[in-house]
Amino acid sequence: MTKALVRHARLKLGHLEIKNFSDGELYVRPKEKVRSKATWVIGSTMPPSDNLLKLLILINALKTAAAKKINVIIPYFGYARQDWIDQPNAPLTAKLMADLLAAAGADKILTFNLHSGQNEKFFTKPLVHLSAYPALAEYFKKMCLNNLLIFSPDQGGIHRAEQFAKIYGKKNLAGPVGYCKKYRPRPNVARISLPKGADVKNKNIVLVDDLIDTAGTLAGAAEALHRAGARAIYAAAAHGVLSGPAIARIKKSPIKEVLITDTYPMLKAKQIPKIKIISAAPVLKKSIV
């Protein structure tokens, strides 16, 4: 995303000196003069053992060098799903990440599609919460799909599907936003079905979520829609984490195409014909120029 953003926003790309000392400690130093200048840092919190620490050291180095303002762009905010205490002594890691960025010296943070509204409450510095859904919706508009319905793969994501449908234009849809039901007949076993009365026969479906991780729920929802007679099934998500068995599940599923953005780096080994990547840089550009 960095190269795309620099191109779209006509920014100057700075250079860094990054090295490891013999004991494994990281050293990150900006090579540009930043005193009294506004700076934009594009970083990642994933994987945290390396990238997060690099990001924090860089932010602090800019602060020490008297940068006028340090704007931090984190396209995919890692640990956002650890945003509530579900059992005794569980960590609230999403809040810790926000606190670390503030302590390092960030003045403003920009990110895409946080997992929940709860995340926004953790930031003590100004937060620009962007959505990749306009870019995703525009892609499907250009496809001119007839009899289109927007679905959430589970009950918990209905609000995301509603957001997407509003951006797409509800008047252009064949019906209200739908959802799939996930239940557990026994421990560690999940089943996904459609609510009674859901009519998807001969309909084109776009399954909408904030991220695709292992793709278990997504693939299960697609199977349920396929069994119910859906014509073609697509998926759209801001973040393509695609960990573990995700690629195998997507390959095996009846999903025709999965659309994601470049907020999360995609390894070549995970690039398959079913997965289409579009850039979220144009959306980000509007917030920095």
Q: Which residues are catalytic?
A: 182
E-strand ranges in 31-147 read 38-42, 69-74, 108-112, 127-130
Pairing of strands 255-261, 181-186: unpaired
Distance CA 18, CA 30 (A): 9
E-strand ranges in 137-280 read 148-152, 178-179, 181-186, 189-193, 204-212, 232-240, 255-261, 275-278
**φ and ψ at 184, to 5 degrees?**
-120, 105
The amino acid that residue 269 corresponds to is A
CA distances from 3 to 6, 11, 264, 280 (A): 5, 10, 14, 12
Q: Are 24 and 56 in contact (CB under 8 A)?
A: no
The tokens for 11 are 């920014």
CA distances from 173 to 141, 149, 150, 158, 274 (A): 11, 6, 8, 16, 24
- Say if residue 220 is exposed, middle or buried (CB neighbours under 10 Å; 0-12, 13-18, 19+): buried
Helix, strand, coil percent values for the chain (each to nearest 5): 35, 25, 40
DSSP state of 156: G
